[in-house]
Amino acid sequence: MHADPAVEVTGLVKRYGSKTAVDGLDLTIARGTVTAVLGPNGAGKTTTVETCEGYRRPDAGTVRVLGLDPVRHAAELRPRIGVMLQSGGVYAGARAVEMLKHTAKLYADPLDVPSLVERLGLDSCGRTTYRRLSGGQQQRLALAMAVVGRPELVFLDEPTAGLDPQARRATWDLIADLRRDGVTVVLTTHHMDEAEHLADDVAIVDRGRVIAHGTVDALRGTDSTLRFDGPAGLDLGELRKVLPDGAAVTEPTPGSYRVEAALDASLLAAVTGWCAGAGVMPDKLAVQRRSLEDVFLDLTGRELR
Ligand code: ATP
């Protein structure tokens, strides 16, 4: 395991004319991890990733990828990183699988092309030209091209956008395998469930900066909300007595109760035990942990999408 990070972005600024797309962004990604870069449209995710890939030059700040400058050391990095762009970068008239075979030949120790093709459900489009593939097939081909060379680090820009559930699952499985093989994966996504399912770390980007970075668990915290319905006007002072310090109990609308506290099975037992003692049958009892959406809302006061 390498001590140096796979990606180190410090104070990155990137402007398009008068528009500042990335505004002093800092991000460090450890080797062998899957990091999801999450944020609303226009937050600067793609620009940041494209700068790491060497496609854009920073206006200020520094970017290091596997310890190298992605613009100056582009040739050295090319065989070591895999890139899946949101669109383009592919000759539209070329046949899908031939293109993949051709790409594989550029690497010293590529993955087996037929099994990759089968895994990603591309076997039916072997002789089809890129431009005639469906959007989802084009995307899966782009993913295959990004990983076929067994890169140390892959950048995947919205790898599952627009995919059907089966293709999405195949993509998730492939990313999980990359992680198992020690590959560092940086992916952008709008899907909270994708980040929660795949990522070791999540970096939340808003207005060109990283506003939160950590494990999904750390970002979501341990607080949860327990809700139940019952008769209106229960004695909340009495309920509070059986709950741990710091728990908040409210009745936002008559007969509807909310307990906010650290997630713990004993909390549920305390609430249901108190209800039993008070002769109350809690209806629609539910415990919900804060989602990444809630985290974003708390940080910015806005919805993620
Ligand atoms: P999305 O989730 O929609 O892909 P994003 O977080 O990836 O968004 P970017 O694509 O990096 O965001 O865009 C950041 C900002 O920079 C946006 O306001 C976008 O309109 C602008 N932008 C991006 N590329 C260009 C460009 N080539 N020329 C001008 N403005 C651009």
Assess whether 108 and 17 both reside in one domain.
yes
Can you give the pLDDT at residue 2? 63
User: What CATH number did the domain enclosing 285 receive?
Assistant: 3.30.70
Last residue of a domain, one of 200, 219, 238: 219
Phi first, then psi, for residue 15 (nearest 5°) are -115, 150
Share of the chain above pLDDT 70, in %: 97
Burial code of 218-245, b = ≥16 C-beta within 10 A, e = fewer? ebbeeebbbbbbbeeebeeeebeeebee
Atom 27, ligand 1: residue with shortest CA distance: 16
Q: Do residues 63 and 135 share a domain?
A: yes
Q: Give yes or no: residues 202 and 240 share one domain.
A: no
pLDDT at residue 37, rounded to an integer: 96
- Are 57 and 204 in the same domain? yes
Pocket residue to mutate for ligand 1, from 45, 59, 158, 160, most atoms within 8 A of Cβ: 45
Q: Whose CA is nearest to atom 11 of ligand 1?
A: 44
User: Which protein residue has the closest C-alpha to ligand 1 atom 24?
Assistant: 47
Residue 2 lies in a domain: no
Whether 90 has a pLDDT exceeding 70, the answer reads no
- Which residues lie across from 194 on neighbouring strands? none
Confidence band for 131, pLDDT divided at 50, 70 and 90:
confident
Residue 303 located in a structural domain: no
Whether 74 is in a domain gets the answer: yes
Predicted confidence band of residue 274 (pLDDT cuts 50, 70, 90): very high
186 lines ligand 1 (CB under 6 A): no
> Structural domain of residue 97, as residue ranges?
7-219
Q: In the predicted model, is pLDDT for residue 163 greater than 70?
A: yes
Ligand 1 atom with the smallest distance to the CA of 50 is: 11
204 CB within 6 A, ligand 1: no
Query: Does one domain contain both 204 and 285?
Result: no
The Cα–Cα gap between 52 and 13 comes to: 12
Q: φ, ψ for residue 114 (rounded to 5)?
A: -55, -40
- Enumerate residues 6+ apart whose C-beta is below 8 A from 102: none
CA of residue 18 to ligand 1 center, whole Å: 13
Q: Using CA atoms, how far apart are residues 259 and 240, in angstroms rounded to an integer?
A: 9
The verdict on 78 and 142 lying in the same domain is yes
Q: Which of 219, 236, 255 is the last residue of a domain?
A: 219
Evaluate whether residue 298 is within a structural domain: no
Q: Are residues 35 and 128 in the same domain?
A: yes
Neighbours of 129 (CB within 10 A): 15
Strand-by-strand arrangement of the 19-29 sheet: 19-29, 7-16, 60-65
Same domain, 26 and 154: yes
The pLDDT assigned to 44 comes to: 95
**pLDDT at 153 (0 to 100):** 97
Task: For residues 132 and 173, state if they share a domain.
Answer: yes
Ligand 1 pocket, residue 54 CB under 6 Å? no
Q: How confident is the model over 200-254, as pLDDT tens digits?
A: 999 999 999 999 999 998 998 877 789 999 999 999 999 999 998 888 898 989 9
Among 198, 219, 240, the domain-final residue is: 219
CATH number at 117 reads 3.40.50.300
pLDDT at 89 over 80: no
Q: Is residue 129 part of a domain?
A: yes
Residue 52 lies in a domain: yes
Domain count for the chain: 2
Q: Is the CB of 180 under 6 A from ligand 1?
A: no
Length of the chain: 305
User: Per residue in 2-44, pLDDT tens?
Assistant: 679 999 999 999 999 999 999 999 999 999 999 999 988 899 9
Residues 113, 226 within the same domain: no
1 has a pLDDT exceeding 70: no
230 and 197 in one domain? no
- Confidence check: pLDDT of 87 > 70: no
Mean pLDDT value of segment 185-208:
93
Pairwise CA distance, residues 304 & 291, whole Å: 11
Residue nearest to atom 20 of ligand 1 (CA): 42
For residues 131 and 68, membership in a common domain is answered with: yes
Position 183 in a domain: yes
Q: Compute, in angstroms, the gap from residue 245 CA to the centroid of ligand 1.
A: 46
Q: Give a yes or no: residue 134 inside a domain.
A: yes
